[in-house]
Structure 1
Amino acid sequence: MPQLRADARDNRDRILASARVLFSERGLDVGMREVARRAEIGPATLYRRFPTKQELVEEAFALELRACRQIVIDGAGDPDPWRGFASVIRRLTALNVRNRGFVDAFTSAGAADGTIAAHRRELLGMLAELARRAQSAGDLRADFRIEDLTLVLLAGRGLSAAAPERRADAAERFAELAIAAFRAESR
């Protein structure tokens, strides 16, 4: 990215900060004009920096995407596939409860293009391989499909409606219930 003037960099930072807060609290239904109002800039300035909402979403969630990627890499790298799989569920649930918009962006079936979609395809591939290893070890249900994990992420999105002081505990409990549901019956 070319060097921006100080005022342009300040506008960009305010846009991203506003988008992060609004998307985190309310999901991706927030309009671009609302982001501009929150950032205290004009819509033209917003569109000059981010011509499409998808570009804004991708930039606003760059940190969450890196965190999500690291969670999957760590889980897939665990020599014990079940422990790695369970760790992914725990950590993704904790990440997702803090940011409703990121869950929307990451699980959106309609977003077939862009950085988030490319990462989603890659990460789901890594998770499918981790799941296959956990199934081979006899720890993960034989009927598990990767779509089941996406379903858990979507269901966990509702945890963001809990009071902020209860979200972490609710996410932890939800993750443990999901893990128990995925465990092979023989274990």
Structure 2
Amino acid sequence: MTPTANSSEAPGQQPEPALRADAERNRERITKAARHLYGSEGIGVSMASVAREAGVGKATLSRHFATREDLINAVFADRMDAYATATTEALADPDPWHGFTRYIQAVCAMQAADRGFADVLTMTFPAAKALEARRADAYNGFLELIARAQATGHLRADFTPEDLVILLMANAGVIAATGNAAPDSWRRLVGQMLRALAAPGAPIPPLPQSPTPAALYRAMIRFARSSSNQL
């Protein structure tokens, strides 16, 4: 007796599990490509660039991520989790001032490790609900961290939560400007900022070395070329 085709499948039609596996592979390729581009160029890259990097069509990209915010949410969910965890760990430190300084150093290091995340921390994405919820959790924890550190008398009384945003913006700018030419410049910035935030008599973390004149000169040339390319 000759076998008959499954009535639920048209001739040549792929089984549903194979379709789902193919879709999952495309999604992974898209998020991997976006993570690479965001990490090296920042989140200003276009969706079209992400599609080209992933080797998929724009329609395929849109099926998985209808908006830029959807893609950003998927790419940076784990980073935002780490950001929230840094707040929790800082609050668990028995020394609130040490917890505060460690938190600042940890978050700025996250920015340095991923340029895309450096951008994400200084921007808001109202449509990316999960991302913004984790940001809100971290922010609320940071408010408590500020109050505790100020209560010790080691954090300046005039420090505000908005000062953190300014610090992160400055750090993101240094990271973008120096790139690989002077990659540790951000550490010097953070060290100087912590000194500025410390009240008189507060223990201050060691100040990292400044970049060499040659490295900083290379960074300045790099930044000038990058700026001229955007004109």
Structure with bigger gyration radius: 2
Partners of 1:184 and 1:161 in 2: how far apart? Answer: 30
CA deviation after TM superposition for structure 1 residue 186, in Å: 4.1
* Match in the other structure for 1:180: 195
Q: Which has the higher helix share?
A: 1
RMSD over aligned Cα atoms: 1.7
* 1:101 correspondence with 2:116: yes
Unaligned ranges ≥5, structure 2: 1-16, 203-231
Q: Is the 8 A contact 2:121 2:168 kept in 1?
A: no
Mapped partners of 1:172, 1:65: distance in 2 = 21
Q: Where does residue 115 of structure 1 map in the other structure?
A: 130
Instruction: Specify the SS of the correspondent of 2:121.
Output: helix
Larger relative contact order (CA 8 Å, sep ≥ 6): 1
Identity %: 37
Q: Report if aligned partners of 2:38, 2:115 keep a CA contact under 8 Å in 1.
A: yes
- Sort the Cα spacing of 1:155 and 1:125 in 2 relative to 1 into closer, same or farther, 3 A: same
Is 2:49 the counterpart of 1:37? no
Matches within 5 A, 1:1-187: 5-109=20-124, 111-113=125-127, 114-158=129-173, 159-164=175-180, 166-167=182-183, 169-187=184-202
* Distance (Å, rounded) in 2 between the aligned partners of 1:139 and 1:116: 32
- For structure 1, which runs of at least 5 residues remain unmatched after alignment? none
What is the aligned length?
Answer: 183
Stretch of structure 1 that moved more, 91-100 or 129-138: 91-100
Q: TM-score, normalised by structure 2?
A: 0.74
Kept in 2, the 8 Å contact 1:141–1:183? The answer is yes
What TM-score does the superposition give when structure 1 sets the normalisation length?
A: 0.90
Contact kept, 8 Å, 1:106 with 1:116, in 2: the verdict is no
After the TM superposition, list the runs of 4 or more consecutive aligned residues in structure 1 that deviate by more than 3 angstroms: none
